[in-house]
Structure 1
Amino acid sequence: MTVPPLIWGITIVVILALLAFDYFFHIRKAHVPTLKEAAVWSSIYVGIAIVFGILVLIFGGSAMGSEYFAGYITEKALSVDNLFVFLIIIASFHVPREDQQKVLLFGIVFSLIARTGFIFLGAALINSFAWVFYAFGLILILTAGNLLKPEKDGDEADNFIIRLARKMFHTTDYYDGDKLFTQVDGKRALTPMLLVMVAIGGTDILFALDSIPAIFGLTQNVYIVFTATAFSLMGLRQLYFLIDGLLDRLIYLSYGLAAILAFIGVKLILHALHENNLPFINGGEPVEVIEITTGLSLTVIIGVLLVTVIASLLSKAGKAQTAINNARRHAVNYLDLGYTADLAERERIFKALVEEERQILQMEPKYRNKAKDVDKIREQVAEAHRQHEEYLAR
């Protein structure tokens, strides 16, 4: 179905208006969003995406509506996985809690721009070269394999661009509010705020390399690809603060995403065989193979995600890992005086630390003793308690 330019224009204006609203009413004044605020606005953005999907069903038909929801759910799941990386980058740069929203919004806007470019490039390649389906399918299968590899340890968010920026430009090791530049001895210098945005922008480009082929595996309608991608990114900032600390609980998410990406990769290759025109495959003629329907794709995606989330939530190892990682993060944040200037936020962090300790003590030793660097974590927690006692004694 061809979407009229007027509908394209209205859609783009609505998305830009949502981003502008997010900035002027939530981001402009640096603050730490409450759990209630994050939950309410996450629900609103998900609601907007669902309402849009219903409109697509009504005016575009069941096939177009199914493609949108399959694409939206897949992109949303991949976006949640991306939050793991955002969390590492933000933590490694020690971004003050009040300013994390601005970093995340920049990441969302940059991601939307980068993915839009990839979408139109992908559409142009698909329209010109049918073999692109083979390439997209292999990319997704390789990405699925990479998700199953053991994660490498490391706390530093560093890459070539960051190292080059630090060598070529005058940079500071401290923040000046949410400014990108500051003055040091009368000279202009880059702040870590700009560097962390560069780091997140660079990772967004890498995310697009598996995100866009994944959704093209579900639909080749450029309007659906664009809107499903855009609405999956909307509300990602609020979702970060809503599930911050719970991300570690989803210990099987990488397995679920690997299964979904591999499934879509196979679907793309089957489609490529069905549309084949490569001379060295079946003499350049289409190959009669089973084509996976959008309905089946949507069922598999939802089913895999449900199994993944439920298994993660019920896992005792997952509960232990979440509690221990949260305790470590709360202790580190409490000890880091640059983390936030909000005394109420620091008190909230300490109370959260105490609650995590209570949960850890109720767990079986075989689960809580499996954590990496458990002795170091205990030292950090003990130091947080000591400093809090000193604070109360003042």
Structure 2
Amino acid sequence: MCGNIKFIEKWFTLVFPVFCFFVISGFLFCFSYFLLFGQLYDYDNNKKDFFSRYANTTPRSFYDNQYLTHRLINMDFTYGITNKENFDKALRNVNRFLEEVNTHCIYQRSDEGTANYLNCANKVLHDNFYYTPSLEVSNNYAINRSDCDTNTYLMMDAMKLKGIESFIVYAPGHAFLAWKDKFGNFNYRETTSNNNTGEVADLTKSSLYQKAFDKSLYTPMSAEQAEKVYHSLIYDKSGGRVDIDALYKENKNNAFVSDQYFDVKNKQDKIRKLDVEYLLSLLNTDFTSTTKKMIVVNYFINNNQPDQATKILSTIPLDDCERDCFLASVTLNKLNFIPFKVPFLLYDDYLKSHGSNAKVQSFYWGILFLGITLISIIVTLVFLIKLLKEMRKITSH
């Protein structure tokens, strides 16, 4: 009897800690996985949710030059970014969206009527395109994908159906919709919320709407201006077919165009001291441009000015620090980067294969919690080994 009691006491004394550490290890592993790959999980859920309710039809693939989305799709085709099959698919999906908006969304000429119309149009967008980061319109519209700027193009065309003037507003790494009320003041709509269902934009959300002073940002732009920005965004996808020099000459004050122009010069090893001085001047207002900062950093590294390079690199938040930023940190012998070079590059390659990019901040947090998970597993194993030894002692008596 006493032996049984002793066995039970030992069992609970050792099993309870093992169980606790096992649960903690599982939680920490899940949390580290979420930090490292949570965005892919969210995008995959968006896709599954979309296709679980999407009823495919075959609308017409006609082209109409009055629509911004049509012009951008055609631009992709002209520059060889998409093929004829995806060109037609993209037009069909956009036309289906516009037809459904025109059929189901009632518009009354008032501020309230406009807001209600946008709510309806955004829900139709949700029914036709799921949220995933996208760049070129054609290849993404063709497979029912859309993100902040590609959503906004669609919503601008939906507003054009009713003769409502609309604008796109660019923020650092983001874009959203704008329209004017009866007083001539701008109202803003976030189109990406809840897998592209959308809502009235809350500009106090710093995660989406980062502070910026450059006049290219938070300045509502027309469809014609959006086309010029889009030209610069697709330069790499076009294989250099976009005439970036001519585009820059016409749009020197546009932050997106200047980003791409100087990035091209950087890749061609044509950045000179005067360019760097000019970029540093631009960064006084365009301080969220990681592209401009990295061009300056690389120039300083290549010209044996590590202190200057480190100074600029330190202004890039870890949440905006991607592959080129990470490698520059390694080149500058930053000790907290060097040991993680290979894991980070493998991590980034994996995310790139799924249409995303690695961010240093997410990577570090994920690695931290993976490390804690391993420690927890080791402690669990120690307790488990101790438990087994004690059980053997008790049963041997």
Greater RCO, 1 or 2 (C-alpha within 8 Å, sep 6+): 1
Would you tell me which structure has more helix in proportion to its own residues?
1
TM-score, length basis structure 1: 0.25
Q: TM-score, normalised by structure 2?
A: 0.25
More strand by percentage: 2
